[in-house]
Structure 1
Protein backbone atom coordinates (compact mmCIF):
# COMPACT_ATOMS: atom_id res chain seq x y z
CA UNK A 1 0.00 0.00 0.00
CA UNK A 2 1.47 3.38 -1.04
CA UNK A 3 2.17 6.13 1.47
CA UNK A 4 -0.57 8.34 0.01
CA UNK A 5 -3.21 5.61 0.24
CA UNK A 6 -2.05 4.76 3.77
CA UNK A 7 -2.35 8.43 4.76
CA UNK A 8 -5.86 8.66 3.30
CA UNK A 9 -6.97 5.48 5.08
CA UNK A 10 -5.48 6.66 8.38
CA UNK A 11 -7.06 10.11 8.08
CA UNK A 12 -10.43 8.70 7.06
CA UNK A 13 -10.53 6.23 9.93
CA UNK A 14 -9.46 8.82 12.50
CA UNK A 15 -11.92 11.40 11.16
CA UNK A 16 -14.82 8.93 11.32
CA UNK A 17 -13.92 7.81 14.84
CA UNK A 18 -13.43 11.38 16.08
CA UNK A 19 -16.70 12.56 14.53
CA UNK A 20 -18.67 9.76 16.16
CA UNK A 21 -16.94 10.26 19.50
CA UNK A 22 -17.46 14.02 19.37
CA UNK A 23 -21.14 13.45 18.67
CA UNK A 24 -21.87 10.64 21.13
CA UNK A 25 -19.00 10.78 23.63
CA UNK A 26 -17.71 7.25 22.94
CA UNK A 27 -17.09 4.56 20.28
CA UNK A 28 -13.90 6.04 18.77
CA UNK A 29 -12.07 2.71 18.90
CA UNK A 30 -15.04 0.75 17.56
CA UNK A 31 -15.40 2.99 14.49
CA UNK A 32 -11.74 3.75 13.79
CA UNK A 33 -10.64 0.24 14.74
CA UNK A 34 -12.97 -1.31 12.17
CA UNK A 35 -10.58 0.19 9.59
CA UNK A 36 -7.22 0.60 11.31
CA UNK A 37 -6.98 -2.98 12.60
CA UNK A 38 -7.14 -4.19 9.00
CA UNK A 39 -4.33 -1.87 7.91
CA UNK A 40 -1.90 -1.64 10.83
CA UNK A 41 -0.55 -4.37 13.14
CA UNK A 42 -2.34 -4.45 16.53
CA UNK A 43 0.78 -3.29 18.42
CA UNK A 44 0.67 -0.12 16.34
CA UNK A 45 -3.09 0.32 15.89
CA UNK A 46 -4.16 -0.14 19.54
CA UNK A 47 -1.90 2.48 21.17
CA UNK A 48 -2.64 4.84 18.27
CA UNK A 49 -6.38 4.51 18.87
CA UNK A 50 -5.91 5.00 22.60
CA UNK A 51 -3.90 8.19 22.06
CA UNK A 52 -6.43 9.53 19.55
CA UNK A 53 -9.40 8.60 21.74
CA UNK A 54 -7.93 10.35 24.80
CA UNK A 55 -7.29 13.45 22.68
CA UNK A 56 -10.94 13.46 21.57
CA UNK A 57 -12.10 12.96 25.16
CA UNK A 58 -10.01 15.93 26.29
CA UNK A 59 -11.57 18.09 23.58
CA UNK A 60 -15.06 16.88 24.53
CA UNK A 61 -14.49 17.65 28.21
CA UNK A 62 -13.28 21.16 27.38
CA UNK A 63 -15.94 22.00 24.81
CA UNK A 64 -18.81 20.68 26.97
CA UNK A 65 -17.27 21.66 30.33
CA UNK A 66 -20.41 23.53 31.45
CA UNK A 67 -22.43 20.32 31.19
CA UNK A 68 -19.95 18.04 32.96
CA UNK A 69 -21.11 16.48 36.24
CA UNK A 70 -17.82 15.60 37.90
CA UNK A 71 -19.29 15.14 41.36
CA UNK A 72 -21.94 12.68 40.16
CA UNK A 73 -19.34 10.85 38.06
CA UNK A 74 -16.97 10.24 40.99
CA UNK A 75 -18.77 7.14 42.24
CA UNK A 76 -18.63 5.62 38.71
CA UNK A 77 -14.95 6.58 38.41
CA UNK A 78 -14.12 5.05 41.81
CA UNK A 79 -15.75 1.76 40.78
CA UNK A 80 -14.02 1.80 37.39
CA UNK A 81 -10.62 2.43 38.98
CA UNK A 82 -11.01 -0.90 40.78
CA UNK A 83 -12.07 -2.76 37.64
CA UNK A 84 -9.30 -1.68 35.26
CA UNK A 85 -6.33 -3.26 37.11
CA UNK A 86 -8.22 -6.56 37.21
CA UNK A 87 -8.85 -6.31 33.47
CA UNK A 88 -5.17 -5.57 32.75
CA UNK A 89 -4.18 -8.63 34.79
CA UNK A 90 -6.71 -10.83 32.96
CA UNK A 91 -5.46 -9.57 29.59
CA UNK A 92 -1.98 -10.79 30.44
CA UNK A 93 -2.90 -14.14 31.97
CA UNK A 94 -6.27 -15.33 30.61
CA UNK A 95 -7.79 -15.93 27.19
CA UNK A 96 -10.49 -13.24 26.93
CA UNK A 97 -11.94 -14.06 23.51
CA UNK A 98 -15.00 -15.79 24.96
CA UNK A 99 -15.70 -12.84 27.23
CA UNK A 100 -15.51 -10.38 24.32
CA UNK A 101 -17.89 -12.56 22.31
CA UNK A 102 -20.37 -12.80 25.20
CA UNK A 103 -20.24 -9.11 26.05
CA UNK A 104 -20.53 -8.11 22.40
CA UNK A 105 -23.62 -10.29 22.06
CA UNK A 106 -25.16 -8.76 25.19
CA UNK A 107 -24.57 -5.18 24.01
CA UNK A 108 -25.87 -5.95 20.51
CA UNK A 109 -29.03 -7.62 21.81
CA UNK A 110 -29.77 -4.81 24.27
CA UNK A 111 -29.21 -2.09 21.66
CA UNK A 112 -31.38 -3.89 19.09
CA UNK A 113 -34.15 -4.35 21.69
CA UNK A 114 -33.94 -0.71 22.83
CA UNK A 115 -34.00 0.63 19.28
CA UNK A 116 -37.28 -1.12 18.47
CA UNK A 117 -39.08 -1.12 21.82
CA UNK A 118 -42.33 0.81 22.04
CA UNK A 119 -43.22 3.18 24.89
CA UNK A 120 -40.22 2.30 27.11
CA UNK A 121 -40.67 2.42 30.87
CA UNK A 122 -37.69 4.18 32.41
CA UNK A 123 -36.23 3.91 35.90
CA UNK A 124 -36.11 7.56 36.86
CA UNK A 125 -33.86 7.37 39.91
CA UNK A 126 -30.07 6.91 39.87
CA UNK A 127 -29.55 7.62 43.56
CA UNK A 128 -28.25 4.19 44.58
CA UNK A 129 -24.52 4.87 44.96
CA UNK A 130 -23.71 1.19 45.37
CA UNK A 131 -25.38 0.32 42.05
CA UNK A 132 -23.69 3.25 40.30
CA UNK A 133 -20.32 2.13 41.67
CA UNK A 134 -21.03 -1.43 40.49
CA UNK A 135 -21.81 -0.15 37.00
CA UNK A 136 -18.58 1.87 37.10
CA UNK A 137 -16.65 -1.21 38.19
CA UNK A 138 -18.18 -3.24 35.37
CA UNK A 139 -17.37 -0.50 32.87
CA UNK A 140 -13.74 -0.42 34.00
CA UNK A 141 -13.44 -4.19 33.82
CA UNK A 142 -15.10 -4.35 30.41
CA UNK A 143 -13.17 -1.32 29.16
CA UNK A 144 -9.84 -2.93 29.99
CA UNK A 145 -10.83 -6.09 28.11
CA UNK A 146 -12.68 -4.60 25.13
CA UNK A 147 -11.66 -0.88 24.89
CA UNK A 148 -15.34 0.02 25.49
CA UNK A 149 -15.46 1.56 29.00
CA UNK A 150 -18.51 3.65 28.17
CA UNK A 151 -20.80 0.81 27.08
CA UNK A 152 -22.23 -0.18 30.48
CA UNK A 153 -22.64 3.42 31.76
CA UNK A 154 -24.37 4.35 28.48
CA UNK A 155 -26.77 1.41 28.86
CA UNK A 156 -27.36 2.37 32.51
CA UNK A 157 -28.22 5.93 31.47
CA UNK A 158 -30.54 4.63 28.75
CA UNK A 159 -32.37 2.40 31.24
CA UNK A 160 -32.99 5.48 33.39
CA UNK A 161 -34.00 7.66 30.44
CA UNK A 162 -31.48 10.43 31.09
CA UNK A 163 -31.64 13.41 28.69
CA UNK A 164 -28.65 13.84 26.39
CA UNK A 165 -26.90 16.66 28.28
CA UNK A 166 -27.19 14.87 31.61
CA UNK A 167 -26.05 11.57 30.11
CA UNK A 168 -23.10 13.21 28.36
CA UNK A 169 -22.16 15.13 31.52
CA UNK A 170 -22.18 11.95 33.57
CA UNK A 171 -20.51 9.50 31.18
CA UNK A 172 -17.93 11.78 29.53
CA UNK A 173 -15.74 12.37 32.63
CA UNK A 174 -15.91 8.66 33.43
CA UNK A 175 -14.70 7.59 29.99
CA UNK A 176 -11.91 10.17 29.96
CA UNK A 177 -10.52 9.13 33.35
CA UNK A 178 -10.85 5.41 32.59
CA UNK A 179 -8.91 5.74 29.34
CA UNK A 180 -6.17 7.80 30.98
CA UNK A 181 -5.86 5.28 33.80
CA UNK A 182 -5.76 2.31 31.42
CA UNK A 183 -3.15 4.00 29.21
CA UNK A 184 -0.98 4.81 32.24
CA UNK A 185 -1.08 1.19 33.39
CA UNK A 186 -0.22 -0.10 29.93
CA UNK A 187 2.61 2.40 29.47
CA UNK A 188 4.12 1.11 32.69
CA UNK A 189 4.73 -2.20 30.91
CA UNK A 190 5.06 -1.24 27.24
CA UNK A 191 6.78 1.42 25.16
CA UNK A 192 5.07 3.36 22.40
CA UNK A 193 6.95 2.92 19.14
CA UNK A 194 8.16 5.77 16.95
CA UNK A 195 5.70 4.66 14.24
CA UNK A 196 2.77 5.27 16.61
CA UNK A 197 3.99 8.79 17.38
CA UNK A 198 4.41 9.54 13.67
CA UNK A 199 0.96 8.18 12.83
CA UNK A 200 -0.56 10.22 15.67
CA UNK A 201 1.05 13.40 14.38
CA UNK A 202 -0.15 12.71 10.84
CA UNK A 203 -3.70 12.08 12.05
CA UNK A 204 -4.04 15.30 14.10
CA UNK A 205 -5.75 17.40 11.35
CA UNK A 206 -8.36 14.69 10.74
CA UNK A 207 -8.73 14.19 14.49
CA UNK A 208 -9.39 17.90 15.07
CA UNK A 209 -11.83 18.20 12.16
CA UNK A 210 -13.84 15.11 13.14
CA UNK A 211 -14.06 16.09 16.79
CA UNK A 212 -15.18 19.64 15.99
CA UNK A 213 -17.82 18.36 13.56
CA UNK A 214 -19.18 15.83 16.06
CA UNK A 215 -19.41 18.34 18.93
CA UNK A 216 -21.08 20.88 16.62
CA UNK A 217 -23.75 18.37 15.58
CA UNK A 218 -24.30 17.22 19.19
CA UNK A 219 -25.55 20.68 20.09
CA UNK A 220 -28.09 20.64 17.26
CA UNK A 221 -29.77 17.23 17.47
CA UNK A 222 -32.81 16.48 19.60
CA UNK A 223 -33.15 13.96 22.42
CA UNK A 224 -34.64 11.20 20.28
CA UNK A 225 -31.96 11.49 17.61
CA UNK A 226 -29.22 11.36 20.24
CA UNK A 227 -30.76 8.30 21.87
CA UNK A 228 -30.95 6.47 18.54
CA UNK A 229 -27.37 7.43 17.68
CA UNK A 230 -26.10 6.08 21.02
CA UNK A 231 -28.05 2.84 20.66
CA UNK A 232 -26.95 2.46 17.06
CA UNK A 233 -23.31 2.87 18.09
CA UNK A 234 -23.76 0.36 20.89
CA UNK A 235 -25.18 -2.10 18.38
CA UNK A 236 -22.29 -1.46 15.97
CA UNK A 237 -19.68 -1.76 18.75
CA UNK A 238 -21.19 -5.00 20.02
CA UNK A 239 -21.25 -6.50 16.55
CA UNK A 240 -17.60 -5.52 16.04
CA UNK A 241 -16.70 -7.54 19.15
CA UNK A 242 -18.73 -10.52 17.96
CA UNK A 243 -17.42 -10.46 14.39
Structure 2
Protein backbone atom coordinates (compact mmCIF):
# COMPACT_ATOMS: atom_id res chain seq x y z
CA UNK A 1 0.00 0.00 0.00
CA UNK A 2 1.58 3.26 -1.15
CA UNK A 3 1.66 6.46 0.90
CA UNK A 4 -0.69 8.17 -1.57
CA UNK A 5 -3.18 5.30 -1.34
CA UNK A 6 -3.12 5.32 2.48
CA UNK A 7 -3.58 9.11 2.51
CA UNK A 8 -6.61 8.89 0.21
CA UNK A 9 -8.06 6.08 2.31
CA UNK A 10 -7.74 8.07 5.54
CA UNK A 11 -8.99 11.31 3.96
CA UNK A 12 -12.14 9.61 2.67
CA UNK A 13 -12.73 7.95 6.04
CA UNK A 14 -12.37 11.24 7.91
CA UNK A 15 -14.62 13.19 5.53
CA UNK A 16 -17.34 10.55 5.60
CA UNK A 17 -17.23 10.14 9.37
CA UNK A 18 -17.50 13.88 9.97
CA UNK A 19 -20.57 14.25 7.76
CA UNK A 20 -22.20 11.20 9.31
CA UNK A 21 -21.68 12.55 12.82
CA UNK A 22 -22.96 15.98 11.84
CA UNK A 23 -26.01 15.15 9.75
CA UNK A 24 -26.49 11.37 9.77
CA UNK A 25 -26.04 11.07 6.00
CA UNK A 26 -23.56 11.88 3.23
CA UNK A 27 -20.85 9.35 4.08
CA UNK A 28 -20.99 7.64 0.70
CA UNK A 29 -21.10 10.87 -1.30
CA UNK A 30 -18.00 12.35 0.31
CA UNK A 31 -15.97 9.18 0.84
CA UNK A 32 -16.63 7.72 -2.59
CA UNK A 33 -15.54 10.96 -4.22
CA UNK A 34 -12.05 10.21 -2.86
CA UNK A 35 -11.93 6.42 -2.77
CA UNK A 36 -13.08 5.85 -6.35
CA UNK A 37 -9.90 7.55 -7.46
CA UNK A 38 -7.71 4.81 -5.97
CA UNK A 39 -9.80 1.60 -5.87
CA UNK A 40 -12.41 -0.22 -7.97
CA UNK A 41 -16.08 0.73 -7.46
CA UNK A 42 -17.18 -2.56 -5.85
CA UNK A 43 -14.44 -2.26 -3.23
CA UNK A 44 -15.03 1.42 -2.53
CA UNK A 45 -18.78 0.89 -2.13
CA UNK A 46 -18.27 -2.11 0.15
CA UNK A 47 -15.89 -0.16 2.39
CA UNK A 48 -18.07 2.97 2.55
CA UNK A 49 -21.12 0.89 3.44
CA UNK A 50 -19.28 -0.71 6.34
CA UNK A 51 -17.91 2.65 7.51
CA UNK A 52 -21.38 4.21 7.28
CA UNK A 53 -22.88 1.54 9.50
CA UNK A 54 -20.11 1.71 12.10
CA UNK A 55 -20.06 5.50 12.26
CA UNK A 56 -23.85 5.63 12.22
CA UNK A 57 -24.13 3.23 15.15
CA UNK A 58 -21.56 5.24 17.10
CA UNK A 59 -23.34 8.53 16.44
CA UNK A 60 -26.67 7.01 17.49
CA UNK A 61 -25.13 5.87 20.77
CA UNK A 62 -23.42 9.18 21.46
CA UNK A 63 -26.59 11.26 20.95
CA UNK A 64 -29.05 8.69 22.32
CA UNK A 65 -30.25 11.13 25.02
CA UNK A 66 -30.99 13.78 22.39
CA UNK A 67 -33.14 11.54 20.24
CA UNK A 68 -36.90 11.35 20.69
CA UNK A 69 -38.23 7.91 19.96
CA UNK A 70 -41.51 7.94 18.05
CA UNK A 71 -43.49 6.39 15.23
CA UNK A 72 -42.07 8.63 12.50
CA UNK A 73 -39.15 6.31 11.78
CA UNK A 74 -41.44 3.35 11.07
CA UNK A 75 -43.39 5.40 8.51
CA UNK A 76 -40.16 5.79 6.52
CA UNK A 77 -38.32 2.58 7.30
CA UNK A 78 -40.97 -0.07 6.64
CA UNK A 79 -41.70 1.11 3.07
CA UNK A 80 -37.95 1.44 2.49
CA UNK A 81 -37.46 -2.23 3.30
CA UNK A 82 -39.91 -3.00 0.49
CA UNK A 83 -38.15 -0.68 -1.94
CA UNK A 84 -34.61 -1.86 -1.18
CA UNK A 85 -34.75 -5.17 -3.12
CA UNK A 86 -36.51 -3.42 -5.99
CA UNK A 87 -33.65 -0.96 -6.22
CA UNK A 88 -31.11 -3.76 -6.13
CA UNK A 89 -32.92 -5.49 -9.01
CA UNK A 90 -33.13 -2.23 -10.98
CA UNK A 91 -29.39 -1.72 -10.62
CA UNK A 92 -28.84 -4.48 -13.17
CA UNK A 93 -31.08 -2.72 -15.70
CA UNK A 94 -30.15 0.95 -15.24
CA UNK A 95 -26.74 2.54 -15.50
CA UNK A 96 -25.75 3.52 -11.98
CA UNK A 97 -23.87 6.57 -13.26
CA UNK A 98 -26.96 7.85 -15.08
CA UNK A 99 -29.14 7.35 -12.02
CA UNK A 100 -26.65 9.13 -9.79
CA UNK A 101 -26.47 12.09 -12.17
CA UNK A 102 -30.26 12.40 -12.14
CA UNK A 103 -30.35 12.37 -8.35
CA UNK A 104 -27.39 14.75 -8.15
CA UNK A 105 -29.22 17.19 -10.42
CA UNK A 106 -32.28 17.00 -8.21
CA UNK A 107 -30.16 17.63 -5.11
CA UNK A 108 -28.50 20.62 -6.77
CA UNK A 109 -31.84 22.16 -7.75
CA UNK A 110 -33.32 21.59 -4.31
CA UNK A 111 -30.26 22.89 -2.48
CA UNK A 112 -29.86 25.93 -4.70
CA UNK A 113 -33.54 26.87 -4.46
CA UNK A 114 -33.80 26.68 -0.70
CA UNK A 115 -30.30 27.87 0.12
CA UNK A 116 -30.98 31.26 -1.46
CA UNK A 117 -34.41 31.73 0.09
CA UNK A 118 -34.67 33.90 3.17
CA UNK A 119 -36.88 31.36 4.94
CA UNK A 120 -37.40 27.66 4.41
CA UNK A 121 -40.94 26.33 3.90
CA UNK A 122 -42.29 24.33 6.83
CA UNK A 123 -44.89 21.58 6.69
CA UNK A 124 -46.88 21.69 9.89
CA UNK A 125 -49.39 18.85 9.52
CA UNK A 126 -48.49 15.14 9.19
CA UNK A 127 -48.50 13.72 5.66
CA UNK A 128 -48.34 9.97 6.27
CA UNK A 129 -48.73 8.89 2.66
CA UNK A 130 -45.91 11.16 1.52
CA UNK A 131 -43.71 9.94 4.40
CA UNK A 132 -44.25 6.36 3.26
CA UNK A 133 -43.60 7.24 -0.39
CA UNK A 134 -40.38 9.07 0.49
CA UNK A 135 -39.24 6.11 2.57
CA UNK A 136 -40.05 3.67 -0.24
CA UNK A 137 -38.14 5.74 -2.81
CA UNK A 138 -35.26 6.07 -0.35
CA UNK A 139 -35.09 2.29 -0.17
CA UNK A 140 -35.17 2.00 -3.97
CA UNK A 141 -32.40 4.57 -4.34
CA UNK A 142 -30.43 2.89 -1.58
CA UNK A 143 -30.47 -0.40 -3.45
CA UNK A 144 -29.89 1.14 -6.87
CA UNK A 145 -27.31 3.83 -6.13
CA UNK A 146 -26.44 3.88 -2.39
CA UNK A 147 -28.43 7.11 -1.99
CA UNK A 148 -30.87 5.99 0.68
CA UNK A 149 -30.65 9.27 2.61
CA UNK A 150 -31.14 11.74 -0.25
CA UNK A 151 -34.94 12.00 -0.48
CA UNK A 152 -35.62 11.49 3.26
CA UNK A 153 -33.17 14.30 4.05
CA UNK A 154 -34.87 16.65 1.61
CA UNK A 155 -38.32 15.85 2.98
CA UNK A 156 -37.25 16.10 6.63
CA UNK A 157 -35.65 19.49 5.98
CA UNK A 158 -39.10 20.83 5.13
CA UNK A 159 -40.75 19.60 8.33
CA UNK A 160 -41.23 21.76 11.41
CA UNK A 161 -39.21 19.25 13.43
CA UNK A 162 -36.33 19.97 15.76
CA UNK A 163 -32.88 18.74 14.81
CA UNK A 164 -33.24 15.89 17.32
CA UNK A 165 -36.53 14.81 15.76
CA UNK A 166 -34.97 14.96 12.31
CA UNK A 167 -31.97 12.92 13.42
CA UNK A 168 -34.26 10.37 15.08
CA UNK A 169 -35.52 9.57 11.57
CA UNK A 170 -32.46 10.04 9.35
CA UNK A 171 -29.77 8.34 11.43
CA UNK A 172 -31.46 5.00 12.20
CA UNK A 173 -33.01 4.96 8.72
CA UNK A 174 -29.63 5.10 7.02
CA UNK A 175 -27.97 2.69 9.47
CA UNK A 176 -30.67 0.07 8.87
CA UNK A 177 -30.71 0.34 5.08
CA UNK A 178 -26.91 0.33 4.80
CA UNK A 179 -26.65 -2.49 7.32
CA UNK A 180 -28.75 -4.64 5.01
CA UNK A 181 -26.54 -3.54 2.10
CA UNK A 182 -23.44 -4.67 4.02
CA UNK A 183 -25.00 -8.10 4.52
CA UNK A 184 -25.71 -8.32 0.78
CA UNK A 185 -22.14 -7.28 -0.06
CA UNK A 186 -20.75 -9.90 2.32
CA UNK A 187 -22.98 -12.55 0.74
CA UNK A 188 -21.59 -11.61 -2.68
CA UNK A 189 -18.00 -11.93 -1.45
CA UNK A 190 -17.02 -8.26 -1.61
CA UNK A 191 -15.22 -8.30 1.75
CA UNK A 192 -11.96 -9.88 0.65
CA UNK A 193 -8.91 -9.99 2.98
CA UNK A 194 -7.49 -6.85 1.30
CA UNK A 195 -10.79 -5.03 1.74
CA UNK A 196 -10.96 -5.97 5.42
CA UNK A 197 -7.43 -4.62 5.94
CA UNK A 198 -8.47 -1.31 4.38
CA UNK A 199 -11.50 -1.17 6.66
CA UNK A 200 -9.27 -1.74 9.70
CA UNK A 201 -7.00 1.13 8.61
CA UNK A 202 -9.88 3.51 7.84
CA UNK A 203 -11.95 2.72 10.93
CA UNK A 204 -10.05 4.86 13.49
CA UNK A 205 -10.21 7.94 11.24
CA UNK A 206 -13.93 7.42 10.72
CA UNK A 207 -14.74 6.95 14.40
CA UNK A 208 -12.63 9.93 15.44
CA UNK A 209 -14.17 12.28 12.90
CA UNK A 210 -17.68 11.23 13.95
CA UNK A 211 -17.01 12.83 17.35
CA UNK A 212 -16.07 16.11 15.66
CA UNK A 213 -19.27 16.06 13.61
CA UNK A 214 -21.41 15.35 16.67
CA UNK A 215 -19.65 18.13 18.59
CA UNK A 216 -20.76 20.56 15.88
CA UNK A 217 -24.26 19.00 15.75
CA UNK A 218 -24.81 19.72 19.45
CA UNK A 219 -23.89 23.38 19.03
CA UNK A 220 -26.21 24.21 16.14
CA UNK A 221 -29.67 25.66 16.65
CA UNK A 222 -32.63 23.97 14.99
CA UNK A 223 -32.75 26.62 12.25
CA UNK A 224 -29.01 26.40 11.64
CA UNK A 225 -29.21 22.61 11.45
CA UNK A 226 -32.05 22.69 8.89
CA UNK A 227 -30.18 25.19 6.74
CA UNK A 228 -27.00 23.14 7.02
CA UNK A 229 -28.85 20.07 5.71
CA UNK A 230 -29.86 22.06 2.64
CA UNK A 231 -26.30 23.27 2.03
CA UNK A 232 -24.99 19.73 2.50
CA UNK A 233 -27.44 18.51 -0.12
CA UNK A 234 -26.24 21.17 -2.53
CA UNK A 235 -22.57 20.42 -1.87
CA UNK A 236 -23.13 16.66 -2.04
CA UNK A 237 -24.97 17.02 -5.34
CA UNK A 238 -22.12 19.10 -6.76
CA UNK A 239 -19.52 16.57 -5.61
CA UNK A 240 -21.52 13.66 -6.99
CA UNK A 241 -21.97 15.39 -10.34
CA UNK A 242 -18.28 16.25 -10.54
CA UNK A 243 -17.26 12.69 -9.70
CA UNK A 244 -19.58 11.14 -12.28
CA UNK A 245 -18.64 13.57 -15.07
CA UNK A 246 -14.91 13.15 -14.47
Normalising by the residue count of structure 1, what TM-score does the alignment of the two structures yield? 0.92
Shift of the 68–59 alpha-carbon distance from structure 1 to 2, 3 Å rule, reads: farther
Shift of the 183–161 alpha-carbon distance from structure 1 to 2, 3 Å rule, reads: same
1:17 CA drift (Å): 1.1
Report what 1:120 is aligned to: 120
How many residues in Structure 1 have an aligned counterpart in Structure 2?
241
- Please give the residue correspondences for 1:167-178 in structure 2 after superposition, counting only pairs within 5 Å: 167-178=166-177
1:146 CA drift (Å): 2.2
Aligned to 2:124, what secondary structure does the other structure show? Answer: coil
> What is the distance in 1 between the residues matched to 2:203 and 2:182?
19
> What is the distance in 1 between the residues matched to 2:42 and 2:29?
16
Shift of the 120–95 alpha-carbon distance from structure 1 to 2, 3 Å rule, reads: closer
- Please give the residue correspondences for 1:52-131 in structure 2 after superposition, counting only pairs within 5 Å: 52-66=51-65, 67-69=67-69, 71-126=71-126, 128-131=127-130
Q: What per-residue deviation string (whole Å, max 9, x for no partner) do you get for residues 114-138 of structure 1?
A: 1111233311122x33221111001
Which runs of no fewer than 5 residues in structure 2 stay unpaired? none
> What is the distance in 2 between the residues matched to 1:97 and 1:14?
22
> What is the distance in 2 between the residues matched to 1:46 and 1:191?
9
Shift of the 82–217 alpha-carbon distance from structure 1 to 2, 3 Å rule, reads: same
Question: RMSD value over aligned CA atoms?
Answer: 1.7
Equivalent residues of 1:157, 1:167 under 8 A apart: yes
Which runs of no fewer than 5 residues in structure 1 stay unpaired? none
Equivalent residues of 1:143, 1:149 under 8 A apart: yes
